[in-house]
C-alpha cells in the first residue's frame, strides 16, 4: 500500500495510490460514501497515530470501493493532484544515520572513518519538501551543496528500549529521502546539524510504502542519478548497521513515536567523493530510486524569495 499527502483543489489530503500508480483515492472524500461519520484524520501524520486501526480502515475503504465498482468515480488521476512530502511537517527532527555504508565512510575519509557504533545526527523539520519541489541552492551560505540518496523508515508504534528482534513491529513503512548537505558548512562548524538543515534540504517521497509490501528492507537496491548519470548504485544489504539495530540503538532511553522518520544512510558516490568534487549546481535534476518503493525527483534552483 502506498500512502500519500496530496494537494487537491487547494487542500492537503491523505490518499492511497491505485494499482498502477496513475490514480489516487482521496480517503476523506471516499469515507463519506463508505462510512457513517468521520473515520480518518485530516493528515497522514495524525492517521499514523491510529496505527493498525488506520490500516484496517484503509483496507475496508479500498475493498468497499472495489466491491461497488466505484474506482472510476472515486480515484482521481494523479495528474490532477500535486504530491507533497508524505509527512510535510514532521513533529520532530529527522533522525539520520551517518556513514552506514563502508564505501561511503571511506570516500569521505579513510577506513579509519568506518564507525564502530551507530552514528546519528538530525535534520530540522523545516528541511522537508516533496517530490518535484525545488532544492534551494543557498548560494549566500554554501558553495558545496551535495546529494545523498537514502531509504527512510517511518515509525508506526510508540516504543522505548526496543529489542532488535522486535524492531520491525514498530515500523509503519518506508519512503525515500535525499539528505542534501552543505559540505563546507559541515566542515566549518565541526558538526552536522547546520550543514544538514538548510531549508528544502530534505526532499522526501513520493509516498510511504507500508511495511507489508517490503519483504526485506535490508536488501533493496538504491540508485541516485544526477542529470541522468548514475552517481550512487548500491544495496541496503551493505548497511554497516541494519535497520533493526538502528531502531534498537535509537530507542535505548529515548522514546520513538509514530511519525518519526529515520534516514538510514547513503551509499558511496556523493559529489564530495569525486576527485575533483562534483557539487550540485542550478538546474541539476536528481532522481533517487529505491527498489519496491519508487523514484523521488527534484531539481536544484535559486532561492525562491
pLDDT digit string, tens, across residues 172-198? 999 999 999 999 999 999 889 999 999
**C-alpha grid cell, residue 49:** 497515530
> 153-169, pLDDT tens digit by residue?
999 999 999 999 999 99
Cell matching residue 70? 466505484
pLDDT of residue 305: 44
Taken in order of first residue, the domains within the chain and their CATH numbers are 2-83 (no CATH), 94-301 (3.90.850.10)
Q: Using one digit for the tens of pLDDT, what is the confidence trace for 55-76?
A: 999 999 999 999 999 999 999 9
Q: How confident is the model at residue 303 (pLDDT cuts 50, 70, 90)?
A: low
Supply the DSSP symbol for 220. Answer: -
Residues pairing with 10 in the sheet: none
Q: What is the mean pLDDT of the chain?
A: 96
CA dihedral 271, 272, 274, 279 (to 10 degrees): 40
**Cis link prior to 80 (omega < 30° from 0)?**
no
Q: Which residues contact 248 (CB under 8 A, 6 or more apart)?
A: 162, 163, 164, 167
**pLDDT of 304 higher than 80:** no
Residue 76 backbone phi and psi in degrees, to 5? -95, 135
Residue 51 DSSP SS3 = coil
Sign of the CA dihedral with 220 first, then 226, 227, and 229 last = negative
Does residue 111 carry a pLDDT above 90? no
The mean per-residue pLDDT over the stretch 291-299 comes to 98
Q: Contact at 8 Å (CB) between 152 and 202?
A: no
Amino acid at each position: 500500500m502506498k500512502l500519500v499527502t496530496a494537494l487537491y483543489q487547494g487542500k492537503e489530503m491523505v490518499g492511497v495510490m491505485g494499482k498502477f500508480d496513475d490514480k489516487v483515492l482521496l480517503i476523506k472524500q471516499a469515507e463519506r460514501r463508505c462510512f457513517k461519520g468521520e473515520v480518518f484524520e485530516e493528515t497522514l501524520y495524525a492517521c499514523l497515530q491510529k496505527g493498525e486501526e488506520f490500516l484496517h480502515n484503509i483496507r475496508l475503504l479500498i475493498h468497499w470501493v472495489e466491491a461497488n465498482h466505484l474506482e472510476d468515480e472515486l480515484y482521481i488521476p494523479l495528474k490532477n493532484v500535486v504530491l507533497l512530502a508524505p509527512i510535510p511537517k514532521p513533529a520532530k527532527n529527522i533522525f539520520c544515520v551517518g556513514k552506514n555504508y563502508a564505501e561511503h565512510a571511506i570516500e569521505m575519509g579513510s577506513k579509519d572513518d568506518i564507525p564502530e557504533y551507530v552514528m546519528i545526527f538530525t535534520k530540522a523539520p523545516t528541511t522537508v519538501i516533496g517530490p518535484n519541489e525545488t532544492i534551494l541552492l543557498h548560494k549566500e551560505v554554501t558553495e558545496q551543496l551535495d546529494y545523498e540518496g537514502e531509504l527512510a523508515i517511518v515509525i508506526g508504534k510508540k516504543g522505548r528500549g526496543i529489542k532488535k528482534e522486535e524492531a520491525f513491529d514498530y515500523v509503519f513503512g518506508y519512503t525515500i529521502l535525499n539528505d542534501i548537505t552543505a559540505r563546507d558548512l559541515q566542515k566549518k562548524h565541526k558538526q552536522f546539524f547546520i550543514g544538514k538543515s538548510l531549508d528544502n534540504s530534505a526532499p522526501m517521497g513520493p509516498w510511504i510504502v507500508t511495511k507489508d509490501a517490503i519483504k526485506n528492507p535490508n536488501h533493496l537496491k538504491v540508485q541516485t542519478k544526477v542529470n541522468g548519470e548514475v552517481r550512487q548504485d548500491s544495496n541496503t544489504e551493505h548497511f554497516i548497521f541494519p535497520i533493526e539495530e538502528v531502531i534498537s540503538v535509537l530507542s535505548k532511553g529515548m522514546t520513538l513515536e509514530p511519525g518519526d522518520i529515520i534516514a538510514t544512510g547513503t551509499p558511496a558516490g556523493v559529489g564530495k567523493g569525486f576527485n575533483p568534487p562534483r557539487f550540485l549546481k542550478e538546474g541539476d535534476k536528481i532522481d533517487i530510486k529505491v527498489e519496491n518503493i519508487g523514484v523521488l525527483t527534484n531539481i536544484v534552483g535559486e532561492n525562491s524569495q
